[in-house]
Amino acid sequence: MVSYEHTPVTVAGKRAVVVGGTSGIGQAIALGFAAEGADVIATSRSEDAVEETAAEIEEHGVDTARVTCDVTDAETLDEVRETAEDAFGGVDVVVASQGAISRETVRDIGDDDWDFVTDVALDGVRRVTQAMAPAMDGGGSIVNISSLAARLAMANLPAYSAAKGGVEAFTRASAKELAPEIRVNAIAPGFVITPQNAETYAEGTEKREKIDDRTPLGRVADREEMVGAAVYLASDASSFVTGEVLTVDGGFADSAF
């Protein structure tokens, strides 16, 4: 007799930390987790942003705590871990959604721009992993936010592309080393509307038309459309998935034109 029972796709009852969780995709994930019944700490550099998102998390009747961090400073991430341990007794899920970008070209980019981007986007993921893994002693799931730029050449984004390629390689490396207790996966979003880029991708712009034309689903994504992938990778339903990159791009990357 075949059993059709399966583990539900949910983060209810889990304890999550979302770095870069007070705006954009990270905030959507933090609030999506809270809406499902997870306790969530959403952290970034801004005290005001942390407070605002924490208040929204609490509206879902779950626990949270307030702590800021700068992913370029490992000590601040130790404070995040300590805060989570004090508030929740441990951590089951970590999402690294912090972002940094520079549009300097391959010919022109200098050390300062390069280092700024890689320090936040790549070294930051490493620091988040190193700081948070010790709190995940009951096992858990780390979800790193990558980008299509890891595998598709995008003009004027050399540091960002290199950092995201590094994030995907580091995701596989840490998946191997932290197994079997901790699973590590990445999400590669396509073009996602956030409050910060709403103008760049505004309807009617040439950029938006090009993206919509090439995307099989014919549009850019709302940030809430990243939440399902994060819930899946964070949940026990993905218990046999690690070292994987889940592309959420409406089909863009695999579509020729």
What residue ranges bind ligand NAD (CB under 6 A)?
20, 22-26, 44-45, 69-72, 97-100, 120, 145, 147, 189, 191-192, 194, 196-197
- Residue 177 dihedral angles phi and psi, to the nearest 5°: -75, -35
Question: Chain centroid to CA 97: how far?
Answer: 3
Q: Smallest distance, Å, CB 51 to ligand NAD?
A: 13
Query: Which of 4, 160, 201, 232 is an active site residue?
Result: 160
- Dump the DSSP string for 175-207: HHHHTTTEEEEEEEE-SEE-TTTTTTT-TTSHH
Q: Smallest distance, Å, CB 62 to ligand NAD?
A: 20
Residue with nearest beta carbon to ligand NAD: 24
**Does residue 68 sit in helix, strand or coil?**
coil
Annotated catalytic, 4? no
Q: Smallest distance, Å, CB 71 to ligand NAD?
A: 4
CA dist 249 to 6, 75, 173, 205, Å? Answer: 27, 34, 24, 19
Q: Smallest distance, Å, CB 6 to ligand NAD?
A: 29
Residue with smaller CB distance to ligand NAD, 237 or 245: 245
Residue with smaller CB distance to ligand NAD, 99 or 140: 99
Residue with smaller CB distance to ligand NAD, 97 or 141: 97
> How far is Cα 232 from Cα 239, in angstroms, rounded to an integer?
10
Using an 8 Å Cβ cutoff, are 134 and 82 in contact?
no
> How far is Cα 196 from Cα 4, in angstroms, rounded to an integer?
43
Residue with smaller CB distance to ligand NAD, 130 or 197: 197
Active site (catalytic) residues: 160
